[in-house]
Amino acid sequence: QVRLVESGGGLVQVGGSLRLSCAASGGIIFSINDMAWYRQAPGTQRELVATNTSGRSTNYANSVKGRFTISRDNAKNTVYLQMNSLKPEDTARYYCNSVQYPASWGQGTQVTVSS
């Protein structure tokens, strides 16, 4: 069973940076999966933030374009999200998952941006 463990969140001031990590384990051929980061703020639906395909192409939500960078290390079965120039509206719980073969959601990692 695939397990996803997100980490790296925290409390940061406006304009600050954080780097999130998501480690996948348990029966996943990580390298062939398109991986994505999602986020969910209280009272809202989970939204797609960024994707990184097996071919290493990337896509971003307009709200984070130019500020966030998604990357991956297939040798470590890990996907990253570098977040710069953080804004209060980036406050949410962040999750990762496979795009093609989504597993059960992990616990996520909380990002709180204070103004």
**For 14-59, how does the pLDDT look when each residue is reduced to its tens digit (9 = 90+)?**
999 999 999 999 878 888 899 999 999 999 999 999 999 988 899 9
pLDDT for the residue 34: 95
| Spatial contact of 56 and 41, defined as CB atoms under 8 Å apart | no
pLDDT confidence of residue 55 = 84
Q: 29-35: which pairs have CB atoms within 8 A and are 24 or more residues apart?
A: 30/72, 30/74, 30/77, 31/74, 33/98, 33/99, 33/100, 33/101, 34/98, 34/99, 34/100, 35/70, 35/72, 35/79, 35/96, 35/97, 35/98, 35/99
In sequence order, the β-bridge partners of residue 71 are 80
Please give the mean pLDDT across all residues of the chain.
95
In the 8-state DSSP scheme, what is residue 88?
G
Q: Which residue is it, tokens 């480690």? A: 23
